[in-house]
């Protein structure tokens, strides 16, 4: 199968993830969308690796997975503590980051 | 011997330093120290004079170079002195009259708690004035020139707690500063023309410069002289300067400082001789001031202001004579010296009268004082006879020569100038007779002194008991002795100077002398002078001697009223310069605040407004930040692709 | 290698700043004495620099050179010419008086806690400014100079914004707001100037390949380094803009009256007498030294700006109601004279301008510090609040008058010599400019005497009646300054001897000769 198709799939997944981040308010969904974008990147990286016959892309994919795992740990902790403080998982309720 | 020259300045300078920095410890002896050092300077002057007389006329000038003052590439200014016959004349006048006035002040200022400071200022004045006349270059002369201005400022404003005195002092300094522009520009012109401003090279090579340049230098020097010597149009400060203590008026504003302009013009004779246009300007200024001062002097009821008008007028004579060139320089200086004697004597006499009259200055409240103050009456009377040019007395010899020289100028100019000087002589006789009669003759018009708060010109320090009859009395010895000595000068100096034209020959090596030939014989001029004089005296006698003098000044004619206000010159200054200046500065302050600063503050405000708007983008919603991130990334990628494609 | 005297002269006050700042809160007086001691030590080193400097020797002496940032060719390169020596001496001379005059300016009020520390900070900041100013007079590396030029803003900012007049310190919110406005304005103006200069510094590096003043000037003189006309002009303008803000020249002057008005008198002296001199000094050293052609090109405009500064500053001084702002505007007028002298491009003008920097420093210090003593007694800066002080405090009034007379350039006091030199030097080349500048002497007399008349003479005001005369500490500040004014007014030769050779070098930098006198030229 033509590896370029994987790239199209990756772009599609990334777009879905990005749209989710921009549109949805629920922090958990937001989080999942971010994961989707990361995984879209992974897919692209592995596809490139295959296309160019070079292992660099696969190695970076592993790095990305580690980062994603770390991100989940930290992110979930933040979401849980936010939920405890505000009784809501909506990101728009946490808009203190302004002047 | 020439090493002594510096001592002339050093002695009074030391006095000033000690007296002004010494503190209250010196209060008891300060005046003696000041007088002693002034006298020391006089003695040094006499010693140098004796030495000078021992030499031939051409070798009399001596020089002393102390140190290099401002050594800069292409610019040399030294502290160096030159004592020639002209300087010597001034040195003797300044130290001689100066010492007498120091002595007089011991008595006059006796009750003033700041007497030590007064003597410090007087010493400072002497030092600066001596520096002015013995400097050997124009820059050092400028130093002395400003120094006397400072001393004059300090002394006019000596009674600083009186606002009028403080204002008068400031005015004198400011008007003089306008004149100083003239002197500094003249020095700059000399520098660009001759590359130096030492007397020797500048005056020696004056002929090599273009006439236009010399005229410019001459006019600038004239401006300087107008400021210092109270000549029209910069004369307005002299009348107000009478706010100072009377000895100051006698020394600075009659005998010495105000004649510095005459010195400057005479000293720069070589420049003026080669610039006829500048000379003409000098003559015109002299002639106008001569009449201006005389007219003002006729209308004033304040004895000191009347004398101040007279000073202006007499200096007008000198300036006029100096403007005549080599036929007049010597006579200008001669009149300056005799005037120094009799005018100082007159002022001291006026001070003595005020001293005895609870510091009343209004002549309408004098009268009949001759019996109460005999010494003052006689000395003042001799000074009066001298100034009006009574035959045989000092003023006659010097003024008559100036009138002759004015006629000798030749042509229509000569006739006009001669007529003006003659007319001036007549008016002088008129106003001086008026002063004399109002003060010493007639009924006594003094009354209980009014409340000091309402009286202008009450000199404090001297006890003015309100509501008490003034009881005129003769002044103490320390005051009368200087008056007597000055009266001797007023009587005999002129005659002495004229013996074999001694004074003219004495000055000739410095100022050059040409004998002027008036179109009519000298005897006719002299006769005319005496006739005019008698007419002036006669009119004054008819007006003031034959009828009682009203205590309250009558309204008077338009001219009288204008003359009382200094011919409206002050009003003009006030409206144009003072008011105009106030408006200008006020509007500039506004411009600076709202325009110059406003541009900057406006920029700052615009920035603030802009960032205030930008701030709204920062709304705190994480998702809107994410939009801008995605948008930015998309734009970047698009741009990269686009660049590739192109 | 010989002893690095120049580094030491800057390092000593810097060390003093650190030591002073480290003194414990309660030992306030110790900190003051330490600051005074360090500033006197610096003065001693400055005297040593003066003695070691040989007027007949090389252009830059006592040089030191070490690599700093090798990749960009930035070096720690020091050296002084006569102009630098004179200004180092001025700085080192004035700071002890500033310290002594400000002895009580940063004392804690009763409302402050025991652990209040700014007293130490005040004196440490003053020493910090001194260190940077001295080093900037020594730097012959353009980048090093730039860094110092900007860095000295930081301590100055805190000095202006942090310490106001005693009368206003504490609860007065409005005064505090004005003070912080003044400090921010000072900072922004000078930063803006500095940024433009930074661009020019980078531009210079791109063109010349290094930052060394001496090397660039030598390469330019020998023709090795050829700059395009427009490049040179742009670079010149970049440098000049920064220096004109600092100097300050009309119309970039409005920060000065605010800063001098709001700061305490000693800090105001530090601004106008010390820090601002870096601006005019740099015009002489960097503008004329690096860009002679462009300097000649810009001369007409700069002379007009200088003339405007002279007349405008003086007229505004006449219209002021606040003593300190009046002195600030007078300073603007005087800076006009300095710039005029520099750009008249004659020996007399440039020697005069250099002397003017020194003399203006001393005379303004004398006048401003006495004014500060006066203000601290009454707690008001408004002229109208005074009157008749002469009667109750004659010594204070007398010293104030002498300071004022120095400001109006009375012969016998130092400023006269420099002002006259500037006027003569200007007149020789630009007669009209010379005459216009001369009107400044009348206006100077006007604002000085009006100030003296309104504050010192007339009937004694009720609030002034109990005013004490100068205290010994205050007299110790004023008397030496006045003595120095008199000395330099009558015998400025020691100073001119040092300055003249440096001016000769600058004149050859800009390839100018003095105009010859007409009579001589005709022969």
Pick B627's closest partner by Cβ from A22, A25, A92.
A22
A vs B: CB pairs below 8 A: 28
**Disruptive mutation site among C442, C519, C523 for chain B (greatest number of B CBs within 10 Å):** C519
DSSP letter string, B168-235: HHHHHHHHHHHHHHHHHHHHHHHHHHHS--BHHHHHHTGGGS-HHHHHHHHHHHHHHHHHHTT-TTS-
Taking an 8 Å cut-off on Cβ atoms, the answer to whether A91 and B621 are in contact is yes
Angle at B274 between CA B271 and CA B280, to 5 degrees: 90
Of A22, A94, A95, the CB nearest to B626: A22
Which are the contacts of A64, defined by CB distance < 8 A and separation ≥ 6? A38, A41, A42, A45
CA distance A33 to A39: 10
For B436-503, give the secondary structure using H, E and C.
HHHHHCCCCCCCCCCCCCCCCCCCCCCCCCCCCCCCCCCCCHHHHHHHHHHHHHHHHHHHHHHHHHHH
Which residue from B145, B181, B208 is facing C442, i.e. has the nearest CB?
B181
Query: Do chain B and chain C touch with ≥3 beta carbon pairs under 8 Å?
Result: yes
- From A22, A25, A95, residue closest to B630, measured CB to CB: A22
Residue C330, C-beta contacts closer than 8 angstroms, at least 6 positions apart: C313, C314, C317, C364, C407, C444, C447, C448
What local confidence, expressed as pLDDT, does residue A85 receive? 85
Q: What is the predicted pLDDT for the residue at C218?
A: 85
Mean pLDDT of all residues in B357-363: 82
> B602 and chain C: CB distance < 8 Å anywhere?
no
Query: What is the distance between the alpha carbons of residues B377 and B395, in angstroms, rounded to a whole number?
Result: 19
- pLDDT value at position B364? 83
Q: Residue C214 has what pLDDT?
A: 86
CA distances from A86 to A15, A21, A92, A93, B634 (A): 30, 21, 12, 8, 34
pLDDT at B217 over 90: yes
In this complex, which of C253, C417, C449 lies closest to B174 when CB atoms are compared? C449
Q: Using N-to-C axis directions, what is the helix angle for C472-490 and C414-429, rounded to 10°?
A: 40
Instruction: Determine whether the interchain pair B188/C315 forms a contact, defined as Cβ–Cβ distance below 8 Å.
Output: no
Confidence check: pLDDT of B39 > 90: yes
Distance CA B9, CA B91 (A): 10
B516 vs A12, higher pLDDT = A12
Is the per-residue pLDDT at B465 higher than 50?
A: no
Which residue in chain B is spatially nearest to A17 when comparing CA positions?
Answer: B630
Do A97 and B630 make contact, defined as CB atoms within 8 angstroms?
A: no
Contacts of B619 in chain A (CB under 8 A): 95, 98
CA distance C497 to chain B (A): 8
Count other C-beta atoms under 10 Å from residue B634's C-beta: 11
CATH number of A3-86: 1.10.287.3510
Closest-CA residue of B relative to C417 is B70
Judge contact between B69 and C490, C-beta under 8 A. Answer: yes
Q: Looking at chain C, which residue has its C-alpha nearest residue B161?
A: C458
pLDDT at residue B621, rounded to an integer: 79
Chains with ≥3 CB–CB distances under 8 Å to A = B
Average pLDDT of chain A? 89
DSSP one-letter code for C111: T
Query: Which chains does chain B touch, 3 or more C-beta pairs < 8 A?
Result: A, C
The residues in A 25-54 lying below 8 A from B, measured between CB atoms, are 25, 30
Our CA-based measurement puts residue B258 at a distance from the nearest CA of chain C, in whole angstroms, of 19
Task: Give B47-106 pLDDT, tens digit per residue.
Answer: 999 988 888 888 888 888 888 898 888 888 889 999 989 999 999 999 999 999 999 998
Tell me the chain B residues in contact with residue C427 when contact means C-beta distances shorter than 8 Å. Answer: 185, 188-189, 191-192
Between A67 and B468, the higher pLDDT residue:
A67
Can you give the pLDDT at residue B163? Answer: 87
Q: What is the pLDDT of residues B420-432, one digit of tens each?
A: 999 999 999 999 9
| Residue of C319, C507, C519 with shortest CB distance to B585 | C319
**In chain B, which residue's Cα lies nearest the Cα of A20?**
B623
DSSP B372: T
Interface test with B, best of C245, C317, C486, C517 (most B CBs within 10 A): C517
Residue B454 has pLDDT above 50, yes or no: no
**Extended strands (E) in C335-412:** none
Long-range contacts of B460-463 (CB under 8 A, 24+ apart): B460/B159, B460/B161, B460/B162, B461/B109, B461/B111, B461/B112, B461/B113, B461/B114, B461/B159, B462/B111, B462/B112, B462/B355, B462/B358, B462/B359, B463/B111
pLDDT band at B463 (very low <50, low <70, confident <90, very high): very low
Query: Where residue B466 falls among pLDDT bands split at 50, 70, 90?
Result: very low
CA distance B246 to chain C (A): 20
A-chain CB neighbours of B620 within 8 Å are: 95-98
Q: Could you tell me if A18 lies within 8 Å of chain B, comparing CB atoms?
A: yes
B205 to B141, B263, B587, C523: CA distances (angstroms) = 19, 20, 49, 12
The pair phi, psi for residue B211, each rounded to 5°, is -65, -35
Closest by Cα among B188, B9, B184, B15 to B82:
B9
* A16 Cβ under 8 Å from any chain B Cβ: no
Residue B360 confidence (pLDDT):
82
Amino acid C116: pLDDT: 62
Domain boundaries, chain C: 5-509
Whether B208 contacts chain C with CB within 8 A: yes
Question: Which of A19, A30, A94, A97 to mutate to test binding with chain B, by most B CBs within 10 Å of its CB?
Answer: A97
**Mean pLDDT, chain B, as a whole number?**
86
Contact C317, C309 (CB under 8 A): no
Domain boundary assignment for chain A: 3-86
Least confident of A85-99, B160-174, B509-523: A85-99
Which residues in chain B are closer than 8 Å to C347, comparing Cβ atoms? 72-75
Residues of B in contact with C493 (CB under 8 A): 67-69, 71
Among the listed residues C492, C402, C411, the one whose alpha carbon sits nearest the alpha carbon of residue B144: C411
Model pLDDT, residue B448: 54
Given C316, C457, C496, which is nearest B589 (Cβ)? Answer: C316
ipTM: 0.91
Q: What is the DSSP string of B43-66?
A: HHHHHHHHHHHTS-GGG--EEEEE
CA distance C120 to chain B (A): 34
C320 CA to centre of own chain: 22
Strands B75-83 and C61-69: unpaired
CB count, 10 Å around CB of A12? 12
Looking at the partner chain, which of B68, B72, B585 has a beta carbon nearest the beta carbon of C315?
Answer: B585
Q: At what angle do helices C323-343 and C394-407 cross, to 10 degrees?
A: 30
pLDDT digits (tens, 9 = 90+) for B132-150: 999 999 999 999 999 999 9
Cβ pair B73:C504 closer than 8 A:
yes
β-pair partners for B80: B65
Cβ–Cβ below 8 Å for B185 and C438:
yes
Tell me how far apart the alpha carbons of residues B42 and B100 are, in angstroms, rounded to a whole number: 10
For residue C319, the distance in angstroms to the closest alpha carbon of chain B comes to 5
Chain C neighbours (≥3 Cβ pairs under 8 A) are B
B6–C contact, CB cutoff 8 A = no
pLDDT, position B469: 60
Q: Which of C351, C390, C517 sits opposite B195 (nearest CB)?
A: C517
The CA distance from B477 to C116, in Å, is 68
Residue of B73, B139, B180 lying closest to C441 (CB–CB): B180
- Side-chain half-sphere exposure of B203, counting CA atoms within 13 A: 18
Cis omega before residue B233 (within 30°)? yes
The residue ranges of chain C whose pLDDT is under 70 are 1, 110-117, 165-172, 521-523
Task: Considering only the beta carbons, identify the residue of C319, C348, C442 that sits closest to B589.
Answer: C319
| Sign of the CA dihedral running C127, C132, C137, C138 | positive
**pLDDT on residue B468:** 54
**Rounded Cα gap, residues C80 and C62, in angstroms:** 7
Give the per-residue pLDDT at B358.
Answer: 80
| CA pair distance C114, C119, nearest whole angstrom | 12
A contacts of B630 (beta carbons < 8 Å): 18, 22
pLDDT in tens, A31-76: 899 999 999 999 999 999 999 988 999 999 999 999 999 999 999 9
Cβ within 8 Å, pair B622-A25: no
Partners of C77 in the β-ladder: C65
Q: Do C428 and B195 touch (CB under 8 A)?
A: no
Q: How far is CA C70 from CA B477, C67, C151, in A?
A: 88, 6, 21
């Amino acid at each position: 199968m033509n590896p370029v198709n994987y790239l199209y799939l990756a772009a599609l997944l990334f777009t879905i993830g990005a749209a989710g981040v921009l549109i949805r308010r629920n922090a958990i969904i937001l989080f999942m969308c971010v994961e989707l974008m990361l995984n879209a990147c992974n897919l692209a990286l592995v596809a490139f690796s295959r296309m160019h016959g070079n292992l660099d892309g696969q190695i970076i994919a592993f790095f990305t997975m580690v980062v994603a795992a770390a991100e989940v740990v930290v992110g979930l902790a933040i979401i849980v503590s936010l939920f405890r403080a505000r009784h809501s998982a909506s990101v728009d309720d946490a808009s203190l980051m302004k002047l | 011997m020439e090493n002594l020259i510096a001592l002339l300045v050093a002695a009074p300078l030391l006095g000033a330093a000690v007296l002004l920095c010494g503190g209250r410890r010196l209060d008891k002896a300060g005046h003696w120290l000041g007088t002693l050092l002034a006298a020391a300077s006089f003695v040094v002057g006499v010693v140098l004079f004796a030495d000078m007389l021992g030499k031939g006329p051409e070798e009399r000038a001596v020089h002393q170079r102390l140190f290099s003052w401002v050594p800069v590439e292409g610019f040399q200014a030294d502290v160096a002195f030159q004592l020639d016959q002209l300087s010597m004349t001034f040195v003797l006048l300044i130290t001689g009259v100066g010492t007498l006035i120091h002595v007089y002040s011991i008595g006059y200022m006796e009750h003033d708690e700041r007497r030590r400071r007064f003597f410090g200022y007087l010493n400072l004045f002497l030092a600066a004035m001596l520096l002015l006349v013995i400097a050997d270059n124009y820059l050092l002369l400028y130093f002395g020139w400003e120094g006397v201005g400072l001393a004059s400022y300090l002394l006019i404003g000596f009674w600083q707690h009186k606002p009028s005195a403080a204002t008068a002092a400031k005015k004198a300094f400011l008007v003089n500063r306008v004149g100083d522009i003239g002197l500094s520009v003249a020095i700059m012109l000399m520098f660009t023309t001759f590359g130096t401003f030492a007397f020797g090279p500048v005056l020696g090579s004056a002929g090599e410069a273009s006439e236009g340049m010399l005229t410019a230098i001459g006019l600038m020097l004239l401006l300087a002289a107008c400021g210092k010597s109270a000549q029209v149009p910069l004369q307005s400060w002299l009348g107000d300067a009478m706010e100072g203590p009377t000895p100051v008026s006698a020394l600075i504003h009659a005998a010495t400082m105000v004649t510095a302009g005459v010195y400057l013009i005479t000293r720069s004779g070589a420049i003026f001789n080669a610039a006829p246009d500048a000379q003409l300007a000098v003559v015109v200024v002299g002639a106008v001031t001569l009449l201006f001062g005389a007219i003002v002097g006729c209308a004033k009821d304040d004895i000191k202001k009347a004398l101040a008008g007279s000073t202006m007028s007499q200096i007008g004579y000198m300036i006029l004579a100096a403007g005549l060139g080599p036929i007049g320089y010597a006579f200008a200086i001669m009149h300056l010296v005799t005037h120094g004697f009799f005018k100082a004597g007159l002022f001291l006499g006026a001070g003595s009268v005020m001293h005895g009259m609870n510091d009343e200055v209004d002549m309408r409240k004098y009268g009949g004082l001759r019996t109460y103050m005999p010494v003052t009456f006689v000395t003042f009377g001799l000074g009066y006879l001298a100034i009006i040019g009574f035959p045989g007395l000092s003023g006659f010899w010097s003024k008559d020569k100036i009138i002759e020289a004015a006629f000798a100028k030749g042509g229509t100019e000569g006739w006009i100038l001669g007529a003006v000087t003659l007319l001036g002589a007549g008016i002088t006789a008129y106003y001086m007779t008026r002063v004399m009669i109002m003060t010493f003759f007639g009924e006594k018009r003094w009354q209980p002194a009014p409340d000091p708060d309402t009286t202008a010109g009450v000199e404090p320090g001297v006890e003015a008991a309100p509501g008490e009859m003034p009881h005129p009395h003769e002044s103490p010895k320390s005051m009368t002795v200087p008056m007597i000595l000055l009266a001797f000068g007023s009587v005999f100096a002129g005659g002495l100077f004229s013996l074999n034209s001694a004074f003219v020959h004495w000055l000739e090596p410095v100022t050059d002398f040409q004998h002027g030939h008036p179109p009519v014989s000298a005897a006719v001029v002299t006769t005319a002078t005496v006739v005019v004089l008698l007419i002036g005296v006669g009119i004054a006698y008819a007006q003031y001697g034959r009828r009682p003098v009203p205590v309250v000044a009558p309204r008077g004619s338009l001219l009288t009223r204008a003359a009382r206000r200094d011919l409206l010159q002050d009003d003009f200054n006030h409206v144009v310069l003072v008011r105009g200046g106030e408006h200008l500065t006020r509007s500039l302050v506004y411009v600076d605040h709202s325009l110059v600063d406003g541009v900057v503050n406006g920029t700052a405000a615009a920035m603030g407004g802009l960032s205030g708007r930008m701030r709204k983008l920062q709304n705190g919603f994480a998702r809107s930040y994410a939009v801008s991130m995605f948008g930015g990334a998309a734009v970047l990628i698009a741009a990269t692709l686009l660049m590739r494609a192109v | 290698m010989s002893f690095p005297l120049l580094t030491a002269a800057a390092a000593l006050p810097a060390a003093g700043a650190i030591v002073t700042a480290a003194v414990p809160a309660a030992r306030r007086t110790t900190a003051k004495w330490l600051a005074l001691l360090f500033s006197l030590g610096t003065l001693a080193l400055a005297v040593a620099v003066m003695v070691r400097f040989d007027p007949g020797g090389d252009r830059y002496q006592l040089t030191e050179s070490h690599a700093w940032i090798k990749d960009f060719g930035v070096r720690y390169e020091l050296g002084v010419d006569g102009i630098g020596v004179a200004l180092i001496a001025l700085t080192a001379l004035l700071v002890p008086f500033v310290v002594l005059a400000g002895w009580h300016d940063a004392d804690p009020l009763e409302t402050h806690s025991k652990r209040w520390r700014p007293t130490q900070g005040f004196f440490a900041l003053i020493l910090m400014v001194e260190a940077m100013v001295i080093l900037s007079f020594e730097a012959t590396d353009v980048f090093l100079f730039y860094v110092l030029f900007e860095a000295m803003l930081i301590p100055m900012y805190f000095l202006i914004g942090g310490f106001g007049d005693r009368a206003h310190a504490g609860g007065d919110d409005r005064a505090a707001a004005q003070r912080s406005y003044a400090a921010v304005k000072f900072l922004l103006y000078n930063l803006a100037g500095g940024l433009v200069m930074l661009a020019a510094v980078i531009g210079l590096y791109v063109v010349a390949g290094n930052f060394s003043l001496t090397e660039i000037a030598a390469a330019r003189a020998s023709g090795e380094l050829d700059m395009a006309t427009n490049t040179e002009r742009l670079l010149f303008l970049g440098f000049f803009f920064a220096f004109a803000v600092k100097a300050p020249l009309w119309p970039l002057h409005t920060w000065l009256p605010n800063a001098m008005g709001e700061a305490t008198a000693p800090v105001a002296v530090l601004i106008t007498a010390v820090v601002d001199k870096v601006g005019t000094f740099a015009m002489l050293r960097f503008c004329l030294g690096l860009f002679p052609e462009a300097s000649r090109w810009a001369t007409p405009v700069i002379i007009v700006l200088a003339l405007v500064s002279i007349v405008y500053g003086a007229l505004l001084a006449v219209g002021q109601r606040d003593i300190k702002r009046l002195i600030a505007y007078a300073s603007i007028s005087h800076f006009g004279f300095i710039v005029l002298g520099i750009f008249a491009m004659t020996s007399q003008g440039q020697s005069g301008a250099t002397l003017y920097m020194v003399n203006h420093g001393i005379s303004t210090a004398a006048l401003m510090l006495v004014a500060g003593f006066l203000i601290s007694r009454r707690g008001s800066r408004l002229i109208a609040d005074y009157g008749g002080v002469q009667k109750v405090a004659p010594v204070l009034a007398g010293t104030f008058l002498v300071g004022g007379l120095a400001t109006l350039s009375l012969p016998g006091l130092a400023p006269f010599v420099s002002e006259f030199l500037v006027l003569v030097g200007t007149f020789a080349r630009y007669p009209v400019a010379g005459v216009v500048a001369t009107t400044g002497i009348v206006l100077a007399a006007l604002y000085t005497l009006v100030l003296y008349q309104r504050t010192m003479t007339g009937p004694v005001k009720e609030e002034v009646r109990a005013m004490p005369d100068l205290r010994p500490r205050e007299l110790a500040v004023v008397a030496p300054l006045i003595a120095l004014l008199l000395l330099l007014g009558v015998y400025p030769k020691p100073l001119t001897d040092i300055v003249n050779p440096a001016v000769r070098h600058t004149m050859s930098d800009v390839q100018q000769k003095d105009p010859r006198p007409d009579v001589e030229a005709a022969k």
